[in-house]
Amino acid sequence: MAEKINRSDQEWQQLLTPEAYSVARKAGTETPFSGRYWDHHDKGVYRCICCGLDLFHSESKFDSGTGWPSFYQPIAAENITTKEDRSLFRVRTEALCAGCDAHLGHVFPDGPQPTGLRFCMNSAALDFIPE
């Protein structure tokens, strides 16, 4: 992993769309079934919208029925960091990009095998690169 990318809040606002900024830099959440990747089935790699770090391959994507793109594993475990999130009056596990600390979504223990995990991501935090 290369050195972590650090930019000012103003720089992020200039680089990102308002929705991507709200989600990735301010831990927002897009409305379910509204993001561009929730029902996306092309083959390729999903990257961090902020720094371009490879996060998920389309082979690990599955339909969770939640309205957000869901994956059962990242491309590399070291590309995702997690932390406890106590917002919304409950405890969840927040998923962050290891390259720039962008908020990606949350991880839940109700995914399919082989991991049993559901990385429930926001489309606004991702960029897709087709194969």
Residue-wise pLDDT for 2-53, tens only, equals 678 999 999 999 999 999 999 999 999 999 999 999 999 999 999 999 999 9
pLDDT given for residue 53 in this prediction: 97
Query: Which stretches within the chain are classed as H helix?
Result: 9-15, 18-20
Determine which one of 48, 97, 100, 120 is catalytic.
120
Q: Whole-angstrom Cα distance, residue 41 to residue 30? A: 19
Question: What confidence score (pLDDT) does residue 20 get?
Answer: 97
Is 100 noted as a catalytic residue in this protein? no
Q: Does residue 114 have a cis peptide bond before it, meaning omega lies within 30 degrees of 0?
A: yes
How confident is the model over 102-112, as pLDDT tens digits? Answer: 999 999 999 99
- How far apart are the C-alpha atoms of 58 and 101, rounded to whole Å? 22
Which domains occur in the chain, in start order?
9-130 (2.170.150.20)
CA distance between the termini of the chain:
23
Comparing CA positions, the residue from 31, 20, 121, 33 lying closest to residue 75 is 121
For 66-104, the pLDDT digits (tens) are 999 999 999 999 999 999 988 867 889 999 999 999 999
pLDDT of residue 1: 55
Which amino acid, 11? E
Q: Quick one: DSSP state of residue 89?
A: G
